[in-house]
Structure 1
Amino acid sequence: MRAIVIEEQGGPEVMRLGDVADPEPGPGEVLIDIEARGVNFIDIYQRSGAYSMPTPFTPGVEAAGTVAATGADVIGFSPGARVAWVLRPGGYAERAVVPADRVVPVPDGVTTEQAAATLLQGMTAHYLTHSTYAVQPGDTVLVHAAAGGTGLLLVQLAKARGARVVGTASTEAKQRLAREAGADEIVDYTSTEVAPAVRELTGGEGVAAVYDGVGADTFEASLASLRPRGVLALFGQASGAVAPIDPQRLNSAGSVFLTRPTLAHYAASHEELLERSTDVFGLVAADRLSVRVGGRYPLAEAGRAHEDLAARRTTGKLLLA
């Protein structure tokens, strides 16, 4: 089969497509014929070395397709069933073997492409708005990169829970997409200081929560945008890692909370993974959560997909098909 293999971590050029041996499922594993693969910032972190990975490896922690075969002791999956998975590498390939406890069924009403475009970012938006800071009716929240893949889903889920959503976006096209997703206010961070604008929009109070997947470039504005006892959920570092901070700054900012969450800890068990995926896929099937695919790339052009995502040239979700 064909697969992307990374022999050593580095730039996009280290991803090389070649022929590898077909995998075989062992006990408790599922062999999946992959039809669509999600491209995520975690793929970039793992490829670049920002997150250490044993090499060689095939990147891609989110994909969808059909079950080709199962190993011993696998219950609930049979050949031909449509499935998706997250949080295990191997997606940038034609086939992958995945532990059964990381695999979820794709229901009727959700296409395989939608599943690959939704699972990781949809569950991220779900845990952020339902668990990390559970949005309450009447809250005002700030969503950075509101036209990105996760950002568009965050806007929709926060609105569904009754929030007033302030989003940040740069170009007019991105601002339009964020508004179409439900954002009530947009701050153009390229021409306007975010924190003062947020303070003005909230009558000086600040927001209940900031959902920040950008990191270094936005952290200071995020901290300065919070109301007293607000929550800064720093769930990514698209612009680079945030430097260590003095905890006293959380006091002076209003006894605020800072957390660095990750989906792995909010879908740690198979039961929680199923609960979140069922909720997210149910919203997609009911047309209550819109998934925007912003770009489709052949597997051989995974490097270009990484470059486009890192440069923020895209909106919505990127797929390798």
Structure 2
Amino acid sequence: MRSSHTFDPELAAALAMMPEVDITDLPAARAAQARQLAAALALSDSSGVDVGELLVPGPPGAPDVMLRVYRPRCRPRGTDPLPVVYGIHGGGFVLGSPDVDHDWNLLLCRELEVLVVSVDYRLAPEHPFPAALEDCYAGLCALTEHAAALGVRADRIALWGDSAGAGLAAALTLLCRDRGGPAVCFQHLCSPALDDRLETPSARLFTDTPVWNRHNARLSWDAYLGSDVRATAAVPAYAAPARATAGALTGLPPAYISVMEFDPLRDEGVDYAHALTSASVPTRIRMLPGTFHGAWAVEHAAVIRNATDEAIDVLGTALGRR
């Protein structure tokens, strides 16, 4: 389905080449994504970056967690410790792997000369909440515990996430604070999925937007939480950070939140930014005009190029690279 919303002209022109996303048939959606990612990876340029994988202990009683590690070749191990971007991919809690953000992670690694680590967390519905969050936490703990061996600065770790990954990043900052875990210095949230209730104006309005819409959002939360749990009082803030009270947000690291104009998740991102600000957490928010969820994929569009430059600058500043 293609909507009639007033998209940025460059994005609108690209829509015909963008596949529809429908997670009603999840095996089919996963197979389609795997084909698309395989084609994209074949064209990736990894020059200047060493890419490897690290298997670390998972949560108690759970499998090990794979971390994909991107190290700038210009900063070999043994030189000054590197700041870290700890990335969490999107996919509605039910799709994806580190392959989703592979090109973005390569770009961050090259541009900022930092270590980029992408966590391969378990997916719902096979592994519902809190599996994904606990995997992300276990990976981050392992990273900081072995900071010296990996040549990284445990005091300079920024979280980055997109969509469901941004929701997990927001939840991870809460978990790290409450457990006395790794000290996250910054949270960068792109189009975050934060609210299972789907009651905001944008969640109610955008039923026909490309890539992501109210239908997909509902299915993703049902898979992650259980259809009998979603939108009930039983959902904790660790699952849906929008449920955190202002008092529960104090002491979190500074945040940058970007949202897309025509996205069912738009208003929950805006609301979360306001809640963080009310809790005295330094927060910046940016709405990208004429955009829709997943518009990051249209890399040639000016609005996306500008947003990419700003995202790199924001992360670089947070990590002392600007």
Q: TM-score, normalised to structure 2's length?
A: 0.29
Structure possessing the higher radius of gyration over alpha carbons: 1
Question: Structure 1 or 2: larger strand share?
Answer: 1
